[in-house]
Structures are given as structure tokens and as C-alpha cells.
Amino acid sequence: MMKKVVIIVVLMLLSIIITTTLSMSVSSTTTDTVAAVTYDERALLINGKRRVLISGSIHYPRSTPEMWPDLIQKSKEGGLDVIETYVFWNLHEPVRNQFDFQGRSDLVKFIKLVGEAGLYLHLRIGPYVCAEWNYGGFPLWLHFIPGIQFRTDNQPFKMEMQRFTTKIVQLMKQEKLYASQGGPIILSQIENEYGNIQSGYGSAAKSYINWSASMATSLDTGVPWVMCQQADAPDPIINTCNGFYCDQFTPNSNKKPKMWTENWSGWFLSFGGAVPHRPVEDLAFAVARFFQRGGTFQNYYMYHGGTNFGRSTGGPFIATSYDYDAPIDEYGLVRQPKWGHLKDLHKAIKLCEEALIATDPTSTSLGSNLEAHVYKTNSGVCAAFLANVGTQSDATVSFNGNSYHLPAWSVSILPDCKTVVFNTAKVNSQVVNAKLTSHSLEETSDSSGAFSSGWSWVDEPVGISKSNAITKPGLLEQINTTADVSDYLWYSLSTQIQGTEPFLKEGTKPVIHVESLGHALHAFINGKLAGSATGESSSKRSLTLETPVTLAPGKFTIDLMSLTVGLQNYGAFFDTVGAGITGPVKLKGLQNGSTIDLSSYQWTYQIGLKGEDSGLSDGSSTQWIVLPSLPKKQPLKWYKRQ
């Protein structure tokens, strides 16, 4: 009996010991994953240790959820420590108080995938993002709140901005995604490049920025906040640099680290514009110079650019592709030699990390346009960067008793102050020349000139074709009329010229004159296309159409289709920039040289196209026509290819 009791007691003790050990183990693991993120004058500190961090931007809605794991893995393999993304307000709250976090909008899933890959995340809440995104990321309903003024010391705007920012922070906390909770988020951003345009807002700008900083820090995320391009960012907000080169940037306090939140890996594509390209040699030079001159956090904007799906592109005139000449291309494929050369650069920089985080560099001139920066610890660990900032000539320099060749516009990295492991101008990564072997982009034709099979089409009616059209006197501004539910607004007028005199000057045609704020316009007279016009760029949006038309005395119809091509996303008071036909609309060159101003007549308006309501744009319609010969060079046709 005694033996049995002893055995039971021993087993109970063993159970207690095992349970205690497991509990201690779990507690230890949890403690290890929770990270305290702070900063000092040299770097971000994670659990008290300074870090050199290399980051890259991937915007979750510009790729599909199926692509996210592979994009994140390729980023990690490319040497990134951090993924950076904006949060897109109009994506998540398209209707006030109705939120969407599903599919491409699944921000939580994206961040969790980043964490599962062992990477950190920088969450740029904004909520203004620019990003060549429609309306700068603001939902259009914001525009209609009485008394609102965007991005200034305006109470209606600040209430909405605080409400959305709080919503995102609370969501992150609920999912335990901040580093202080064991998640991957180590940084957050409030506002975005406000310093570039704040002079337009006068004295209210400063109070707005101070309020933004105070509001953000009061949310208690447990991680630092940054403001990019904001030289007067108040403590404890870190002000950071955006640009092609940020090596000469200095933070606004000697207690803050030197950080680069946007190193532009290329540029965005505009409709009709050249495809942007930034040579990897120049990009690598900019990165190396930044770390050479004291930087410790650098982010590529973009590392993967992706696609502007749906009507998300801003502008106007910014293209659907957001490839950005990034290291990972629009389709998720590695772009060589850019990806590989930068990967080699990252390895070289990481070999210098111990020295980089220990101290500020000492600089020495090695000649005209030639510099050496040396990082050396008290224990003797040494790293050096040798730079030739001249753009024309290579150079040979002497450093620490050794001779080094420096190509023009290049930096050599010496992790031991002796051996060059990387030079920014010497690209060793494999160049892959992708060639399209399919005929998907070039249609074949038969002897009759018809397109190959697989094409179908549907006609779009000219002018008013929906029952919800409205009639009002005068010309309406487009954005206020459509609320951006469609890119299209029909302006339609049926009228008649009174009088017995001949309507036209003998041997001439009258001219229709239309002035519009943009972005594009098609004019139809009695159902036939008379002419078209487009704006030129985001800074030259407005347009004038003036074209001869065929008319006869009596009743006639003018149908003007006005189009927006992405709403303005940048600039002071960008939300007040209008679109559409604001007039005048005139008929010129009539009898006796007279002109009729039609601007104040009764116009009928139709928001959107019949084909949009029928599901043509998303492929759900069954109205598609398939015939051997496809109509070409005809207006108002919807086309689809299987």
C-alpha cells in the first residue's frame, strides 16, 4: 500500500514538473516573439539591438492573394527584412461605415503571410497615400461631407481621419499583429509627403501635422511612427526621406535615425508615355551611398509594383500597369539583372552591419569626387565604403595602403576595410531576356482581314439609354454628379434653331465648340461621331473640342460623352479639382457669323453606360455577339476575347 502511495505521489510530482516546464517553455517562446521596437540616433532597435534593415514595398491590392506567398518569398530570397505597404481607405470603406477586408482587400491575411515568412512589416496607414491611386486613397463619399476640407486643420476631416486610422489600428491589435504583441509590424506611418505641399494650407498646416502626430501616438501601437517628407515632424515621430537619392538627408533631430521610406526603383507608367526604366547600377549606387553616409533603414518603392485593377488607378492618365520597373515585375516574375544585383548588394551591406550600427562613419577625401567612409568599432571591427561620385571617369584610389579601381558613379563595399566584395557598377547577375513566343499580343488575320476567332462584341447606345437619367438647366461638373461610380457621364441636348433665314453660311459647316475640365470627350451629332479630344497629362487635364459638324435647319441632338481616366491623387487641394464639361458649349459659324451658346439649355444626364449595368465590364453578360467578321474602327463597341 505504501509503495502504491509513493508511486502515485511521484507521478503527481512528475506531472507538476512536466506541466511547469511546458508552461515555462511556452511562456519563453511567447516572450521571444514579442518585440520591443524603439529607436536611437543610429537605427531602429528591436529588443534593444540596433538593426540595419532593408525593405521593399508590395501593395497587397495590386496583386492577387494567390500571388502573395510567392512575392513575399522572393522578397525574402532577395535579401529583404521588411515589407512595406500602404493602407487604402477607399478600398476598405467604399461606403461610409461599410468595410471590406476580403480578397485583395484582406490586409490581415497579407500581414500574417509576411510574418509567417519571418519578415517584418511597415504599415503606412496614411490615410492619404497618393500612390498613383484613385483620389489618393480617399473614398469619394468623404468629398460630400458638409464643411469638409481635406488634409488641414478641419474638424470634419480630422474626425473621419481619426475614425479610420483607429479602425485599422484596432484591427491590427485584435489580430495581434504589432511587434509589441508578437506580430510582424515594427513601424507605422501617419500622413504622407505632406511637407511637399503644406505651404498651400498656410498656418493651418502646422496645427494639422501636430494633431496628426498626437492622434497617432495616442493609439498606443507599441511601435514607432514615421512621417515621410515632413521636416517639421514633431517628436517622437521620425521624419524620413523619399526620392531617387537620400544620402544627403538629415533627420530633424540628432536623436532620430536616418531612414529612407521611398527609394524609387523606377517610375509609374502614364498612358501614351514611355515605359520607365531605372538602371540597376544607379539604384544600387543610391542604396550604397545611403548606407555609406549613415543610413540604416532603406525601402524600395516598389519592390513589386503589380497592377491597378478595376478603376483603382489615379492620375489622371496613369496606366493600368503599375510595374514600376521593380525587381519583381508586374506578373510576379523576378526581373534580372535588377533583382540579382540588389540581392548581392544586400549581402554586402549585411556583412557590414556590426560596424554600421556601432558608430557614425568617418569620412575622408580620396581626390576630386572620391570619398571613403569608414565605420570602426571599439573592438576593431571595420567596414568601408569607397565612392566615385563623378559621372564621367573611372578612378584608381589609394586606401589603407592598397590600390582600388572605382568605376564612375559607383561605390565599392569593403566589409573588412580591405577586400572589395561588391561594386555597384559591376553587374554579375544573370540577364534574362524574355521573349514572347505566343501570338497573344498580335492578332492574326485571314484573307478578308477579319480578326481570328475568339472575339465578340456588344453595341453601346449613343446618348441616353437608361431610365434614371436626369434633366437640369446648365452644365454639371462630372465628379459631383457621378460620385465616381462610373468613369462616364453623358451630356445630351435635343434642340431646334428657330427662324426662317438659312441656317448655315453658304458653302460652310457650323463648328461645335466644347470646353471641358477633362479628361476625355467624344461628341456625337444626331447619333454620329463628330469628333474626340483628350487631355494631355495630370497637369494638363482640360481640353477643348472644336470640329465642323453637319446640320440642317430644324431639330437636332448633341450627345457628349465625358470620361474620367483616374481621379487626381496628388497636390494641395487635389480633391477640389473637377472634371467634365463645364462649358461653354457653342455652335459657331452660323448665318451672319453668329454663335449660339448652348451652355444654359436644358441638358439631360446619364451616369455610366448601359453596358456597365448589363455586366459587360465584368464578363457576366450573355449579350455578346459572335460573327466571323468583327466590326472595327467603329465607336461605342464593347469587345471581349475568350
DSSP 8-state assignment for residue 140: G
Residue pLDDT, tens place only, 70-128: 999 999 999 999 999 999 999 999 999 999 999 999 999 999 999 999 999 999 999 99
- Report the alpha-carbon distance of residue 221 to residue 165 in Å, rounded: 12
Q: Measured between alpha carbons, how far is 580 from 589 in angstroms, rounded to an integer?
A: 25
Reduced to 3 states (helix: H, G, I; strand: E, B; else coil), residue 603 is strand
CA atoms within 13 A on the CB side of 207: 9
Angle at 405 between CA 399 and CA 410, to 5 degrees: 100
Q: Are 53 and 187 in contact (CB under 8 A)?
A: no
Q: Assign 91 to helix, strand or coil.
A: helix
The grid coordinates listed for 78 are: 532577395
Is the model's pLDDT at 501 over the cut of 70? no
Give the pairing of strands 49-51 and 44-46: antiparallel
Using one digit for the tens of pLDDT, what is the confidence trace for 8-55? Answer: 333 333 343 333 333 333 332 233 489 999 999 999 999 999 999 999
Share of the chain above pLDDT 90, in %: 82
Is the bond leading into 215 cis (omega within 30 degrees of zero)?
A: no
Whole-angstrom Cα distance, residue 386 to residue 384? 7
Mean pLDDT of 573-583: 96
Closest CA to 85 of 192, 243, 220: 192
pLDDT bucket at 641, cuts 50 / 70 / 90? confident
Domain 458-641 has CATH 2.60.120.260: yes
Sign of CA dihedral 139, 140, 146, 147: positive
Helix, strand, coil % over all residues of the chain, rounded to 5: 25, 30, 45
Residue 251 corresponds to which cell in the numbers above?
533627420
Q: What is the DSSP string of 317-331?
A: TB-SB--TT-SB-TT
For the stretch 416-422, contacts whose Cβ atoms lie closer than 8 Å and that sit 24 or more positions apart, written own/partner, are: 416/382, 416/383, 417/374, 417/376, 417/382, 417/383, 417/384, 420/386, 421/347, 421/348, 421/351, 422/288, 422/344, 422/345, 422/347, 422/348
Check the CA dihedral 17-22-26-31 and report its sign: positive
Average pLDDT over residues 290-317: 97
Query: Which entry of 262, 281, 460, 515 is annotated as an active-site residue?
Result: 262
Range list of β-strands (E), 564-609: 585-588, 596-597, 602-607
Q: pTM (2 decimals)? A: 0.91
Residue 345 has pLDDT above 80, yes or no: yes
Strand ordering across the sheet containing 44-46: 37-39, 44-46, 49-51
Q: Which residues does 628 contact at the CB level (< 8 Å), separation at least 6?
A: 450
At 353-410, the pLDDT tens digits run 999 999 999 999 999 999 999 999 999 999 999 999 999 999 999 999 999 999 999 9
What's the chain's average pLDDT?
90
Phi, psi at residue 133, to the nearest 5°? Answer: -105, 145
* pLDDT at residue number 431: 61
pLDDT tens-digit readout, 407-441: 999 999 999 999 999 999 999 966 654 443 333 43
DSSP 141: G
User: How much is the average pLDDT of 466-491?
Assistant: 97
pLDDT tens digits for range 166-217: 999 999 999 999 999 999 999 999 999 999 999 999 999 999 999 999 999 9
Q: Which alpha helices (DSSP H) does 445-524 contain, by range? A: 478-482
Q: Which amino acid is at 236?
A: P
Q: Which helix (H) or strand (E) holds 21?
A: helix 2-33
Work out the percent of the chain whose per-residue pLDDT is above 70. Answer: 89
Provide the pLDDT confidence category of residue 579 given band limits of 50, 70 and 90: very high
Task: Determine whether 262 is an active site residue.
Answer: yes
Q: Distance between CA atoms of 492 and 318, rounded to whole angstroms?
A: 28
C-beta separation of 261 from 275 below 8 A: no
Pinpoint the residues of the chain covered by CATH 2.60.120.260: 458-641
DSSP string, 196-252: GTGGGGTTHHHHHHHHHHHHHHTT--SS-EEEET-TTPPTTSEEEEEES--TT---S
Q: Report CA-CA distances (Å) from 497 to 140, 491, 552.
A: 40, 19, 9
Question: Exactly one of 93, 193, 353, 515 is catalytic; which is it?
Answer: 193
pLDDT for 83 = 98
Q: Is the dihedral of CA 152, 155, 160, 166 positive or negative?
A: positive
According to CATH, where is 3.20.20.80 located in the chain? 47-423
State how far the Cα of 441 lies from the Cα of 163, in Å rounded to an integer. Answer: 46
Q: Which CATH number fits domain 47-423: 2.40.10.220, 3.30.450.270, 3.20.20.80, 3.50.50.60?
A: 3.20.20.80
pLDDT band, residue 553 (cuts 50/70/90): confident
- Burial class (CB within 10 angstroms; exposed 0-12, middle 13-18, buried 19+) of 126: buried
pLDDT in tens, 245-257: 999 999 999 999 9
Cα separations (Å) of 388 from 62, 260, 356?
38, 22, 20
Contacts of 1 (CB under 8 A, 6+ apart): none
Residue 279 to residue 558: CA distance in whole angstroms = 50
Element (H, E) at 167: helix 155-174
| CA 264 – CA 268 distance, rounded (Å) | 10
Length of the chain: 642
Please indicate whether residue 193 is annotated as part of the active site.
Answer: yes
Scanning the structure block, which residue is given the C-alpha cell 455586366? Answer: 615
CA distance 293 to 177: 33
pLDDT at 376: 97
Could you tell me the end-to-end alpha-carbon distance of the chain, in angstroms, rounded to an integer?
83
